[in-house]
Amino acid sequence: MTAPIQNQSDENLPRWIKASFTGFFENTVNASITPTPPFSVTGYSLNSDENQDHIEMRLMGPHEKDNSGFLVLELQISFLMTFRQDNVKDMFTLDRWTGVYKDVLRKPIEFFKKGNGVEDDDSLIGCFTLKQSKRELIRDDRYGFLDGNTPIQQATVVATLDTWLPWS
């Protein structure tokens, strides 16, 4: 059971969420993709050629709401996948990547107080799950080749997640 959050949002929540999600996806997803493409979070360098296969995670949020004694955190997570068609012979690599990410997004994603600060004790804060709605739960879009001269394809996988944390 997670400890209740005080009646104010913690300034560390965005950092803890980003750190937890980065670790989760690096460990969980990359274990399912062979060979493993470089993984990055927006704002961090891939230290690689921009034309190289890679997957970039973007987090929008968390957006906060107070709901009858709960702090509701909602965020949108997206993955931009770039695949160089001539790097491998399998033309379905991008489709496999999107399938793996969609599958993992259906699982609960725990987030912890990760970091090196005084308040960062690696304790569990909560668990994000797909936000239940009448709209699409997970969306994937394939953009095909960037242009006629470059054999690079891109796709995205986007989902909205939320969690309810008790206020104290």
Q: What pLDDT is stored for residue 44 in this prediction? A: 44
Name the token pair of 108: 């609960």
Classify residue 45: in a domain, yes or no: yes
Give, in order, the Cα–Cα distances in Å from 58 to each of 55, 100, 160, 165.
Answer: 10, 17, 12, 23
Classify residue 1: in a domain, yes or no: no
Average model confidence (pLDDT) across the chain: 81
Residue range 88-143, pLDDT digits in tens: 567 788 888 899 999 999 999 999 999 888 888 999 999 999 998 777 789 999 88
Total domains, the chain? 1
Name the token pair of 103: 């599958």
Instruction: Tell me: pLDDT of 67 over 60.
Output: yes
CATH of the domain at 160: 3.30.2000.20
Q: Which domain holds residue 150?
A: 13-166
Q: Structure pTM?
A: 0.82
Following CA atoms 58, 61, 62, 65 in sequence, which dihedral angle do they give, to the nearest 10 degrees? Answer: -150
